[in-house]
């Protein structure tokens, strides 16, 4: 059974999330603030953490930063709208994804499932996302068996997105991965390459979804 720790200061939100998750066979532990949440995580070694960004006293971002000093546990951020800058900060500080309140249960469960999939030691040099396959050994990509012609930059970009398939990757994270040596602003180049990639992936392959002011998400349709 997967263990989840919920850190949220609203008792009713905790109770409800706990009910929802228990009905999906999660073992749930609740914490009402950052320090006790960190203690729970250290003690219980959960498989995932739901973290509210708007905690009183020690805010969610500080909790996350402290957590990332010693744990790689997948973290899903619960946030409200109009906090894009904060969300980006949390994602770049090591959060795995976010949902925006008020969120649907289906969305929450889907995100939670995806972020738990990520920690695996890759034994084979292939990544798949839907009908897309990336062969890292030969730097080849294929869509439903057909070879995709990609430039090295496009391949690296698709690699970054596919590795995090289903999860949000911030613009900053992508740029640092794809253009590690570039100091100048690459956001325009990023948009251009994304647009090329989208054309090559067409409508049958996984879709690259833009989340305004945050980043891109590869969705395998």
Name the site residues for other proteins (rule: CB under 8 A). Answer: 10, 12-13, 16-17, 19-20, 23, 54, 80-82, 84, 101-106, 171, 187-192, 194-196, 209-213
3-state secondary structure of 50: strand
Tell me if 63 sits within 8 A of 87, measured CB to CB: no
Closer to other proteins by CB, 39 or 105: give it: 105
Closer to other proteins by CB, 86 or 148: give it: 86
Least separation, in Å, of the C-beta of 69 and other proteins? 28
Least separation, in Å, of the C-beta of 58 and other proteins? 17
Tokens of 24: 């999906």
Least separation, in Å, of the C-beta of 72 and other proteins? 28
Least separation, in Å, of the C-beta of 187 and other proteins? 5
Tell me if 134 sits within 8 A of 126, measured CB to CB: yes
Query: What is the sign, positive or negative, of the torsion defined by CA atoms of 101, 88, 113, 12?
Result: negative
Closer to other proteins by CB, 43 or 192: give it: 192
Closer to other proteins by CB, 128 or 204: give it: 204
C-alpha span between 184 and 205 (Å, rounded)? 32
Considering only CA atoms, which of 138, 136, 180, 137 is closest in space to residue 158?
A: 136
Closer to other proteins by CB, 127 or 160: give it: 160
Least separation, in Å, of the C-beta of 27 and other proteins? 18
Residue 22: which residues within 8 A CB-CB, separation 6 or more? 28
């Amino acid at each position: 059974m997967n263990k989840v720790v919920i850190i949220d200061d609203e008792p009713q939100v905790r109770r409800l999330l706990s009910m929802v998750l228990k009905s999906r066979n999660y073992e749930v532990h609740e914490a009402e603030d950052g320090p006790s949440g960190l203690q729970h995580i250290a003690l219980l070694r959960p498989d995932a953490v739901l973290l509210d960004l708007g905690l009183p006293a020690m805010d969610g971002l500080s909790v996350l930063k402290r957590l990332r000093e010693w744990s790689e546990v997948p973290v899903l951020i619960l946030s409200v709208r109009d906090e894009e800058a904060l969300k980006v900060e949390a994602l770049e500080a090591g959060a795995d994804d976010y949902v925006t309140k008020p969120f649907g249960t289906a969305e929450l469960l889907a995100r939670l499932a995806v972020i738990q999939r990520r920690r695996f030691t890759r034994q084979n040099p292939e990544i798949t996302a839907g009908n897309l396959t990336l062969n890292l050994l030969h730097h080849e990509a294929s869509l439903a068996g057909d070879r995709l012609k990609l430039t090295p930059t496009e391949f690296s970009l698709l690699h970054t997105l596919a590795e995090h398939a289903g999860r949000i990757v911030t613009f900053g994270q992508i740029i640092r991965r794809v253009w590690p040596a570039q100091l100048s602003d690459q956001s325009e180049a990023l948009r251009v390459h994304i647009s090329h990639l989208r054309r090559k992936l067409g409508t049958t392959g996984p879709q690259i979804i833009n989340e305004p002011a945050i980043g891109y998400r590869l969705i395998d349709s």
